[in-house]
Amino acid sequence: MTVIATDSAGLVVRGLTTTFETSRGVAIAAADVDFDVAPGEVVGLVGESGSGKSVTLRSIMRLIREPGKVSGRVEWQGRDLVAMPEEELRRIRGSEIAMIFQEPMTALNPVLPVGLQIEENLMAHTRLSARERRARALELMNIVGIPAAERRLDEYPHQFSGGMRQRAMIAIALACSPKLLLADEPTTALDVTIQDQILKLLLDLRDRLSMSVVLVTHDLGVVAATCDRMAVMYAGRIVETGTVAEVFARPRHPYTRGLLGSVPRSNVARTMLSSIEGTPPSLTNLPQGCSFHPRCSFAAAQCLEERPPLETVARGRKVACFRQEVVAKAEAIL
Q: Where are the domains of the chain?
A: 11-96+178-329
Residue 79: how many CB atoms within 10 A of its CB? 13
Residue 90 is given by DSSP the state H
Q: What is the pLDDT of residue 209?
A: 83
Average pLDDT over residues 67-96: 93
> Of 124, 167, 169, whose CA–CA distance to 147 is shortest?
167
Could you give the CA distance from residue 235 to residue 147 in angstroms, rounded to a whole number? 41
pTM flag (> 0.75) = yes
Q: What is the pLDDT of residue 250?
A: 92
Q: What is the pLDDT of residue 235?
A: 94
189: pLDDT confidence band, cut at 50, 70 and 90?
Answer: low
> Of 180, 192, 189, 237, whose CA–CA distance to 47 is shortest?
237
Of residues 122 and 334, the one with the higher pLDDT is 122
Could you give the CA distance from residue 246 to residue 332 in angstroms, rounded to a whole number? 13
Average pLDDT over residues 18-24: 93
Instruction: Please spell the DSSP secondary structure of 53-84, one letter per residue.
Output: HHHHHHHHTT---TTEEEEEEEEETTEETTTS
Q: What is the pLDDT of residue 9?
A: 57
Is 4 a residue whose pLDDT tops 50? no
Is 7 a residue whose pLDDT tops 80? no
3-state secondary structure (DSSP) of residue 43: strand
Q: Which listed CATH number (3.40.50.200, 3.40.50.620, 3.40.50.300, 3.40.50.410) goes with 11-96+178-329?
A: 3.40.50.300
Going by C-beta distance under 8 Å and a sequence separation of 6 or more, which residues neighbour residue 326? 298
Angle (CA) 143 134 103, round 5°: 55
Q: What is the pLDDT of residue 197?
A: 84
Of residues 274 and 330, the one with the higher pLDDT is 330
Could you give the CA distance from residue 11 to residue 76 in angstroms, rounded to a whole number? 5
Average pLDDT over residues 219-225: 89
Query: What's the whole-number average pLDDT of the chain?
Result: 89
78: pLDDT confidence band, cut at 50, 70 and 90?
Answer: confident
* Residue 231 backbone phi and psi in degrees, to 5: -130, 130
Q: What is the pLDDT of residue 333?
A: 61
Buried b vs exposed e over 168-200: b needs ≥16 C-beta within 10 Å? Answer: bbbbbbbbbebbbbbbbbbbbebeeebbebbbe
267: pLDDT confidence band, cut at 50, 70 and 90?
Answer: low
Average pLDDT over residues 292-301: 94
Q: What is the pLDDT of residue 219?
A: 87
Residue 332 is given by DSSP the state P
Is 318 a residue whose pLDDT tops 60? yes
pLDDT digits (tens, 9 = 90+) for 115-169: 999 999 999 999 999 999 999 999 999 988 899 999 999 999 999 988 899 889 9
Is 8 a residue whose pLDDT tops 70? no
CA 221 to chain centre: 15
